Structure formats: C-alpha cells, structure tokens
Amino acid sequence: MARRFQIILNPNAAGGRGRRVQSDLEVSLATEGVDHTLQVTRHPGHARTLIEEWSGPEERRVLVVGGDGTLHEVANGILFSGQTGVELAILPVGTGNDFHRMVRGSGELPQALDALLHGTSRLFEVGRARWEGGEEYFVNLMGVGLDVAVLQRRHRFCRLPGLFQYLAALGSAMVGFRQIPLRLTVDLADGDQATYSGRTLLSAITVGPSVGGGFLLSPDARPDDGTLDLFMAQEMGLGGVLRHLPRVIRGNHAGSHELTMERIIGARLEPMDQSPLYFELDGELMPEAVSYLEIEVIPAALRILEAASPSIQARPDGTGPGNKDGA
C-alpha cells in the first residue's frame, strides 16, 4: 500500500506562525517526495472535523501543525470517533506548546518530518472531563481558578512570546481576582481517596509537567505512567503568588504547605457556594460554566510519534525540549 500522510495545519496558531511555516513545510515535503494531503483549518473546531471525516487507505499517520489547542481538537476527533491506530507527529507552532514538552525531540521542522516518516510511537494517556450534559478529553491540562482569568486576558498580550505572554496576563488577572470556594475529592494513585475544601487560587489536573508555556506545576508528571497529576494552590494574595512563582517556573516548589501536589486517577470538583464553575481544557476556555466536573485518566489513549534519529532527539545532558529540565 502506498504511503500517504495527513497533515492538519492551523494557520492562526500563535498569531499566524502556522501560516508562516506552511511554505517551508510544503518545500520540505516536496523535497522528500512525501505523498500527503494538507488540510488547513478555517475556524475553531475544524481540526476535529477534519480528523473525524478522515477515511481511506492512506497510512494512519498525521502531522499536526499548531499549538496545544489544535492538538486538543485532533485528539478529541480521534477519541470520540473511535479511530484506532492513528499516530500523531507534532510540529509545535503555538503559543505555549506545553504538550510538546512531553515529546522527545526538538520540535523543529526536520525533526517533525522525521517523526512522521520514520518515528516510533509512544502511548500517552489523556484526561476525560465530564459535566452535566457534556464531556471532553484533554491532552495536558484541566484548570479552574486563576488560569481561567489569565486566559480571559491573554489576548491583550498576544504579541509577547509563550511564557512572557502568560506572565503578563497573570499580573493583569490578579487585580480583583476572586478565589474559588472549592470542594475537590480525588482518587489517589495508591488507591486511597482525599478531600480538600476551601478557597483555591488555582486547581489544575495535568497529564504532563508544564502549563502556560513553561510553568512546571507538576515537574515529575509523565504522560505514560497511567496517572494524572493534581496541583492545587490554596488561597493567597499577591505576595504569596510572587513568592511561589519563581519556584513554580523552575519546578522546585514541592514541600510548600500552601501547595498540594498529588498523583491521581480521578477527581470531582464542585463549588462550595453553588456558584457556577468556569474551567479550561488545554489552554482553551470552555464556553459555559458548570455545577461540577468529574475527571478521570484514560491510559494509553493516544499514539504520539517521536523522532527516530538519535541525532535529533533531546540533548545528551537532558536539557533539550521534551525533558522537564529544558521546558
């Protein structure tokens, strides 16, 4: 069977970076003689539609050119349509690119094509969020609290790169932010259960270590260990945020009595005062508030392609992209 690959490209990723990389991508594909179908997304949700409608005899390998939001759509299309055997390579051209920090390889165009053409796949878990009348998968992050306020303001700082964009939006979000009275019940990885109640600045459940373009909320998180990771910051003011922020960026904040970190397989979140709960998945605001969220891990759900050539994987000192110390 002839090899034919699917490419889904978001031209608007990172303020148009996806569009700018398209010509270089097409030249590289032509140079390598790669038989492919290139589809460009036209609106939010289109990447999910493209993967759901994908059929035919071509090889089930897909190159996703975009950010975490594009990958979120593709993953939901695969999982909700019940497709099996689809393998995803990633060319990360988004704002945060936190998912790619879990993938071995540099994230440059030659490495992404090497992964697509010759790479081997690794099974990643995902999280599933359920609420009244709805459900959706997330490939890296579910968050409530301050990160929702940050995303509501991020567009004001869209000219800044990754981490700096989130830091600027964080400063803006802290002004007048109302911390959430939350009850959170978690199923721990060791089989026990724990409940936390009180006002929270931020509660996040992640697949990997990094969010927001480089905040290492759960630095030991791994995408193939069959668990999710909880990071919860209790109520604190600006002084507390400024005290913890440098340590969270570096990933050496474990042990603080104001921060809770747990390895979990499931959770239920609900406001203590019956107020609506706003949340985000993979850096995308969910349009409607809910009265509760139920989270569970889905192990070995996605096949992620990683570069085959050792010369283009992470640096030998472990500081390259895809390793927690180089995020």
Contact status, residue 274 vs residue 81, Cβ threshold 8 Å: no
Mean pLDDT of 276-291: 93
| pLDDT score at 55 | 67
* Mean pLDDT, rounded, for 113-133: 96
Q: What is the pLDDT of residues 14-64, one digit of tens each?
A: 889 999 999 999 999 999 999 999 999 999 999 999 999 886 555 689 999
Residue 323 has pLDDT above 80, yes or no: no
Question: In the CATH hierarchy, which top-level class contains the domain 129-299?
Answer: mainly beta
User: What residues have CB less than 8 Å from 243, skipping those under 6 apart?
Assistant: none
DSSP assignment of 241-255 equals HHHHHHHHHHT--TT
- The residues, ordered by sequence, that sit 6+ positions from 79 with a Cβ below 8 Å of its Cβ are 126, 137, 298, 301, 302
According to CATH, the superfamily of the domain at 5-119+307-326 is Probable inorganic polyphosphate/atp-NAD kinase; domain 1 (3.40.50.10330)
Among 111-120, 249-258, 264-273, 306-315, which stretch is predicted with the lowest mean pLDDT? Answer: 306-315
The C-alpha angle 326, 322, 242, rounded to 5 degrees, equals 45
Identify any residues that bridge with 290 across adjacent strands, giving them in sequence order. 277
What is the pTM for the complete model shown? Answer: 0.89
How large is the average pLDDT for residues 116-145?
96
pLDDT tens, 77-91?
Answer: 999 999 888 999 999
pLDDT category of residue 318 using cuts at 50, 70 and 90: very low
User: Which residues have a Cβ under 8 Å from the Cβ of 174 and sit 6 or more positions away?
Assistant: 146, 238, 241
To the nearest whole number, what is the mean pLDDT of the chain? Answer: 89
Q: What is the domain partition of the chain in residue ranges?
A: 5-119+307-326, 129-299
Task: For residue 49, count other CB atoms closer than 10 A to its CB.
Answer: 15
Up-side HSE of residue 272: CA atoms within 13 Å toward CB? 13
Q: Six-digit token pair at 235?
A: 């109520």
pLDDT digits (tens, 9 = 90+) for 89-120: 999 999 889 999 999 888 899 999 999 999 99
Q: Mean pLDDT over residues 111-134, rounded?
A: 96
